[in-house]
Amino acid sequence: MSAQANPRNSNVVALNNESHRNLTVVTKRGAEYGEATHLVPVVANELRNLVLEYPVCITKDPSNGQFSLCVLLGFEPGENLYLSGESWDAQYIPMHVRRQPFMVGYKNPQAGAGEDVGKDKGAVITLDLSSKRIHENGGEGERLFDDQGNNTPFMQQVSDLMGQLMAGMESTTAFLKALADNDLIEPAHINVQFASGEQKRYEGLYTVNEEKLQKLDADKLVHFHQHGYLQAAYWLGASMGQVRKLIFLKNKLG
């Protein structure tokens, strides 16, 4: 899963300060905005903040074997135990959630102008006009452009966030490749028992094998440390302790 635009969605368009000058974006939280989900993609750059709130795990695409980094928000599809009405019970919200309804697209000869993002000037900010967050003729929410077509402070925040997300996606790919290349990824067998007495076992999630991590040879340990992979790997492993928080939140619901 990534923050890239889905070309099959005809409602995804490149952001433009002319045609979208009066558009507003709702920034509040809620299930109606697609936030009732139990897995959300994240990037390695966020791990420092994520581990204080969420279990962070690795998922694997069965079609191509590609690994991704995700936070676990619930135990069932459509279950976000951190979300209650318009309230998200955490000090930090993943960038993938905060960037909605914006995505990253790439220019082509037919694409026209868009809001450039990141160092790669072929990348532009796009948005999904079908999102419930979008109001095309003003109304509730934050404006992206002022009456002269200049970026608002909110639009600058969006641009900064998308730049961070793009850079984070690249570093996350490199981090997961380093883990996989050194056989450091193992299944995370999650066994939980709820207050009701119900017991469940969750499969299909992965984490870091800390025993193998500690046994890396000196050269690889230096390489991992220099690239920030060592700290990230330990954060990733430690975050699984937050499954206890998920169980607590689940039990509170009864």
Note whether residue 4 is domain-resident: no
Q: Which residue has the tokens 């300060």?
A: 17
H or E element that contains 216: none
3, part of any domain: no
Contact partners, residue 2, CB within 8 Å, separation at least 6: 41, 169
Burial class of residue 130, CB neighbours in 10 A (0-12, 13-18, 19+): exposed
Q: Domain of residue 148: give its range.
A: 12-253
User: Which residues does 197 contact at the CB level (< 8 Å), separation at least 6?
Assistant: none
Give the number of domains in the chain: 1
Token pair 């003729």 is found at 137
**pLDDT tens string 151-175:** 999 999 999 999 999 999 999 999 9
Residue 76 domain flag: yes
Residue 2 lies in a domain: no
Burial of 56 (0-12, 13-18, 19+ CB in 10 A): buried
Give this prediction's pTM: 0.86
Residues of the chain with pLDDT under 50: 1-9, 109-113, 119
Please report which helix (H) or strand (E) contains residue 212, including its range.
helix 210-214
The burial class, CB within 10 Å (0-12 / 13-18 / 19+), for 170 is: middle
Residue 1 domain flag: no
The reply to whether 7 falls in a domain is no
